[in-house]
């Protein structure tokens, strides 16, 4: 039998087989049968080698046309049968029209936003104005103006995301302090809420980005006692209960003296959040360093002030008894819908 006759016979056999297919799976099987690597189309291509050289171009074109014809028939049949199967599946579904509809859940603020808004509201009632600062800032406002020495560890790549030689993602909302001092005369009573970024290992209690509220008060005769009284009042208003706090001496370049504030963890036996100590650090605070006042153009001989920075995620962990800070950024609707 000549190759031309084989082509015509193959077309006839294919069309007969095509008429008998009833499902998309059968079309896929038919496609493999005729167009696969071991199918008759491939065998015809191999048979070209035995034909006369002057006949090969014409026969090759016929085989390629046959291949495209088979492929086109298979694709159209597959599309038609897929539509039929989908329609059949849809029409066979039983719908109980007496069932109640799915309730649309109203939108709500993220738990971190809720906690941040609560803190801002309380501090505004206590006489603080709100000032926002840039997320990307200069080394001066983020470090140098806050009395950070050039070799301070916080300026190392392990703690700071550098944008350029002079620009960083702010590591704290303290970058607002000097800006406000430059633009205002005491008395100054300001809070600066916002997002911060640090190049740290993500864990149950720490993340590479988090939220802070920086608060500071500058006036004549501001004392450490004013700082303690302000913070104690804030904790009681935020948690609506007496909060057990612990103040520990600590070093921060922008305050002197400095301290860290711990709040009693909600766990009973110790947890990952408090590192099994029973206490969770939520705040760094102290009296504003005279060099920081000078950077903002304020005379430290005439004025004094206090400052603190609170971690909003840490406060939310305590308030809502959440075991892992990473849950705030996973966007799990089952978690988020619990906060109305």
DSSP assignment of 290-323 equals: HHHHHHTT--TTT-EEEEEEEEHHHHHHHHHT-S
DSSP state of 338: T
**How high is the pLDDT of residue 268?**
65
d(CA 117, CA 125): 12
d(CA 11, CA 34): 10
Each residue's pLDDT, cut to its tens digit, for the chain (340 residues) gives 577 788 888 888 888 888 888 888 888 888 888 888 888 888 888 887 777 777 878 878 888 888 888 888 888 888 888 888 777 776 766 777 788 888 877 788 999 999 999 999 999 999 999 999 999 999 999 999 999 988 777 777 668 899 998 999 999 999 999 999 999 999 999 999 999 999 888 888 789 999 999 999 999 999 999 999 999 899 889 988 777 888 999 999 999 999 999 888 877 667 777 777 888 888 999 999 999 999 999 999 999 999 999 999 988 988 888 888 999 999 888 898 888 7
Contacts of 189 (CB under 8 A, 6+ apart): 127, 128, 129, 216, 217, 218, 219
**How high is the pLDDT of residue 120?**
96
d(CA 132, CA 274): 30
pTM: 0.66
Is residue 147 within 8 Å of 254, Cβ to Cβ?
yes
**How high is the pLDDT of residue 334?**
87
Is residue 196 within 8 Å of 209, Cβ to Cβ?
yes
Is residue 25 within 8 Å of 81, Cβ to Cβ?
no
What is the residue whose two structure tokens read 């004025």? 303
What is the H or E stretch that residue 92 is in?
helix 56-92
Backbone dihedral region for residue 231 (phi beyond 0: left; psi -120 to 50: alpha; all else: beta): alpha
Contacts of 136 (CB under 8 A, 6+ apart): 163, 167, 168, 169, 170
DSSP assignment of 265-289 equals: -S-SS--TTTTTSSEEEEEEEEEEP
Is residue 64 within 8 Å of 96, Cβ to Cβ?
no
**How high is the pLDDT of residue 61?**
85
């Amino acid at each position: 039998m000549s190759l031309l006759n084989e082509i015509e016979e193959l077309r006839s056999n294919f069309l007969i087989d095509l008429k008998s297919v009833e499902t998309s799976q059968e079309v896929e099987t038919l496609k493999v049968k005729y167009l696969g690597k071991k199918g008759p189309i491939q065998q015809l291509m191999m048979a070209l080698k035995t034909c006369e050289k002057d006949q090969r171009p014409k026969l090759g074109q016929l085989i390629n046309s046959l291949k495209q014809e088979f492929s086109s028939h298979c694709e159209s049949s597959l599309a038609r049968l897929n539509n039929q199967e989908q329609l059949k599946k849809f029409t066979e579904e039983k719908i109980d029209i007496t069932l109640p509809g799915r309730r649309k859940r109203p939108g709500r603020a993220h738990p971190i936003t809720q906690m941040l808004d609560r803190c801002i509201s309380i501090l505004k009632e206590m006489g603080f104005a709100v000032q926002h600062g840039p997320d990307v800032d200069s080394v001066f406002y983020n470090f140098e103006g806050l009395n950070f020495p050039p070799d301070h560890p916080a300026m190392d790549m392990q703690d700071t995301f550098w944008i350029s030689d002079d620009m960083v993602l702010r590591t704290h909302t303290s970058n607002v302090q000097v800006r406000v001092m430059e633009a205002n005369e005491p008395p100054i009573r300001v809070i600066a809420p916002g997002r911060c970024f640090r190049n740290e290992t993500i864990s149950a209690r720490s993340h590479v980005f988090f939220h802070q509220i920086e608060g500071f008060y500058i006036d004549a005769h501001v004392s450490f006692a004013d700082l303690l009284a302000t913070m104690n009042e804030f904790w009681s208003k935020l948690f609506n209960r007496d909060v057990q706090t612990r103040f520990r001496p600590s070093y921060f370049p922008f305050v002197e003296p400095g301290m860290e504030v711990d709040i009693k963890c909600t766990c009973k036996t110790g947890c990952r959040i408090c590192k099994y100590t029973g206490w969770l650090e939520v705040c760094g605070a102290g009296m504003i360093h005279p060099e920081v006042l000078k950077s903002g153009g304020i005379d430290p001989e005439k004025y004094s002030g206090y400052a603190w920075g609170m971690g909003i995620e840490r406060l939310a962990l305590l308030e809502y008894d959440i075991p892992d800070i990473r849950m705030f950024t996973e966007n799990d609707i089952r978690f988020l819908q619990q906060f109305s």
